[in-house]
């Protein structure tokens, strides 16, 4: 499995989001602009990733695995940051930052799986 540069960018965005959100929770802060925007950055990355995937398909590069599974992962991953941000706006306690940190962790795992599906690897 070759490493896609877009995957590395996504991993970095997810990591930064997780560190910021866990750091804010450790400092006993409620969700703030920085933590909410870090989850929004994950969402923005997923939108770019979806667009890049469409461009790769249009360019003739196909999905080696099941296409429905790839797009299902992507659509589900797009819902996760929206739900976590909504949660953090409703519950202003520091525990919302833990929910926001779950965005980065969960999306990273889903992104890893999407890369496996794209390349046709069944390692999970």
The continuous run of DSSP H or E covering 106 comes out as helix 95-119
Q: Is 66 domain-assigned?
A: yes
Burial of 87 (0-12, 13-18, 19+ CB in 10 A): middle
Domain count, the chain: 1
pLDDT one-digit tens code per residue, 11-41: 999 999 999 999 999 999 999 999 999 999 9
Average pLDDT over the chain, rounded to an integer:
93
Q: Is 29 domain-assigned?
A: yes
pLDDT one-digit tens code per residue, 63-80: 999 999 999 999 999 999
Q: How far apart are CA 6 and CA 23, in angstroms?
A: 26
pTM to 2 decimal places: 0.92
Q: Is 36 domain-assigned?
A: yes
Q: How far apart are CA 120 and CA 50, in angstroms?
A: 18
Q: Is 55 domain-assigned?
A: yes
Q: Is 124 domain-assigned?
A: no
Could you list the residue range(s) of the whole structural domain that residue 70 is in? 5-119
Q: How does DSSP assign 17-70, residue by residue? A: HHHHHHHHHHTTPPP-HHHHHHHHHHHHHHHHHHHHHHHHHHTTPPPSS-HHHH
Q: Is 107 domain-assigned?
A: yes
Query: Which pair of structure tokens corresponds to residue 92?
Result: 């202003």
Q: Is 51 domain-assigned?
A: yes
């Amino acid at each position: 499995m070759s490493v896609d540069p877009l995957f590395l960018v996504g991993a970095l965005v997810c990591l930064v989001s997780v560190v910021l959100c866990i750091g804010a929770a450790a400092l006993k802060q409620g969700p703030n602009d920085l933590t909410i925007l870090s989850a929004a950055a994950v969402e923005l990355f997923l939108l770019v990733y979806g667009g890049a995937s469409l461009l790769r398909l249009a360019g003739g590069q196909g999905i080696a695995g099941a296409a429905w599974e790839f797009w299902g992962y992507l659509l589900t991953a797009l819902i996760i940051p929206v739900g976590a941000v909504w949660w953090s706006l409703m519950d202003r306690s520091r525990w919302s930052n833990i929910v926001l940190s779950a965005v980065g962790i969960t999306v990273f795992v889903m992104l890893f799986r999407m890369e496996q599906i794209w390349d046709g690897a069944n390692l999970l």
